[in-house]
């Protein structure tokens, strides 16, 4: 039996759910090292590995361990790293927590059980069991349009009383539910939005930050939105957000992370836009739109620097 955390370390700011680069069917370690070095010097507050954007469901145990080891070596403790976990069997997830306890990660992002659609009592008991067996903090990932079940605020707040539950990546897709949770959550329980297109709105309502896949691109702009909002400077946050809102829609025009990987490939951060089935690379039409936006932003940056 492991000993769960007894106190919370508050989470806030801009977190990046890192893509997992592949080449010829294998983990692309060269591109992964390049990505880690690039984002290590960006104004982000943490990384999430092997989650949805990182195509975690397609990684085997050895690849996951290698992914974490490379990231840890490149980051050298400079950024906290959370590991994505998901599954619909509580006992198996407990074993995963125990099996990965030695990895150099600060905590876990754990999705609600998918497909089985448990009751609220089942969700509560599931996460309580995980919290009791984890030596590291857990961040609940509530995303009902992927899992088929929405964790209510009542359930979330009961789990928030457990010190091992650090907060939630909130993708409930109900602005009223999100706002009510922000108002009612206890001190130290973080609400981080995972809805890229709603980043500014969530911050304006009091969210502690966000886990933003779109922040692979224009990272500093996303960080400025977050910093201004957390400082209470809503006009500055909104002004910055106006230049990013269309970008989030472009990067989610087709299933993520394919559009993001295409952008990173075109800009030289990864050596291939490869994704693993059942994900597919972007369509030719979207590729052209992304390439045009890259060119437009490059020209704008050059003009501003001149």
CATH of the domain at 32: 3.20.20.70
Q: Which domain holds residue 49?
A: 13-242
Q: Is 192 exposed, middle or buried (0-12, 13-18, 19+ CB in 10 A)?
A: buried
The predicted pLDDT at position 41 comes to: 97
On whether residue 135 sits in a domain, the answer given is yes
Bridge partners, 26 (sequence order): 23
On whether residue 85 sits in a domain, the answer given is yes
Cα dihedral 279/285/288/289 (nearest 10): -90
On whether residue 169 sits in a domain, the answer given is yes
On whether residue 303 sits in a domain, the answer given is no
The active-site residue out of 82, 169, 200, 261 is 169
On whether residue 151 sits in a domain, the answer given is yes
Domains: count for the chain = 1
Mean residue pLDDT across the chain: 96
The predicted pLDDT at position 1 comes to: 43
The active-site residue out of 39, 141, 200, 261 is 141
The predicted pLDDT at position 268 comes to: 98
On whether residue 251 sits in a domain, the answer given is no
Q: Output phi, psi for 83, to 5 deg.
A: -105, 130
Bridge partners, 16 (sequence order): 47
Token pair, residue 47, equals: 């990384």
Assess whether 169 carries a catalytic annotation. Answer: yes
The per-residue pLDDT for range 151-207, each reduced to its tens digit, is 999 999 999 999 999 999 999 999 999 999 999 999 999 999 999 999 999 999 999
Measured between alpha carbons, how far is 120 from 122 in angstroms, rounded to an integer?
5
On whether residue 276 sits in a domain, the answer given is no
Q: Is 97 exposed, middle or buried (0-12, 13-18, 19+ CB in 10 A)?
A: buried
What's the 3-state SS for 117-167?
CCCHHHHHHHHHHHHHHCCCCEEEEECHHHHCCCCCHHHHHHHHCCCCEEE
Residues of the chain with pLDDT under 50: 1
């Amino acid at each position: 039996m492991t000993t769960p955390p007894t106190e919370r370390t508050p989470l806030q700011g801009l977190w990046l759910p890192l893509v997992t680069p592949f080449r010829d069917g294998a983990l692309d370690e060269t591109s992964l090292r390049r990505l880690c070095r690039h984002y290590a010097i960006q104004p982000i507050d943490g990384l999430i590995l092997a989650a949805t954007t990182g195509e975690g469901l397609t990684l085997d145990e050895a690849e996951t361990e290698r992914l974490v080891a490379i990231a840890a070596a490149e980051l050298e403790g400079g950024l906290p790293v959370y590991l994505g976990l998901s599954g619909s069997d509580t006992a198996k997830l407990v074993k995963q927590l125990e099996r990965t306890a030695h990895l150099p990660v600060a905590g876990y992002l754990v999705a609600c059980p998918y497909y089985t659609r448990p009751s609220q009592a089942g969700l509560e008991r599931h996460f309580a069991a995980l919290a009791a067996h984890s030596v590291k903090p857990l961040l609940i990932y509530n995303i009902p349009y992927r899992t088929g079940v929405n964790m209510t605020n009542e359930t979330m707040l009961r789990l928030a009383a457990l010190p091992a539950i650090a907060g939630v990546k909130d993708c409930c897709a109900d602005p009223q539910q999100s706002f009510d949770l922000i108002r009612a959550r206890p001190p130290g329980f973080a609400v981080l939005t995972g809805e890229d297109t709603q980043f500014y709105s969530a911050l304006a309502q009091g969210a502690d930050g966000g886990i933003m896949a779109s922040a692979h691109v224009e990272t500093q702009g996303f960080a400025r939105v977050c910093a201004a909002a957390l400082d209470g400077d809503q006009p500055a946050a909104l002004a910055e957000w106006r230049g990013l809102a269309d970008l989030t829609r472009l990067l989610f025009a087709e299933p993520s992370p394919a559009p993001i990987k295409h952008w990173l490939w075109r800009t030289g951060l990864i050596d291939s836009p490869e994704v693993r089935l059942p994900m597919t690379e972007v369509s030719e039409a979207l590729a052209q739109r992304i390439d045009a936006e890259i060119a437009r932003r490059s020209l704008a940056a050059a003009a501003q620097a001149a």
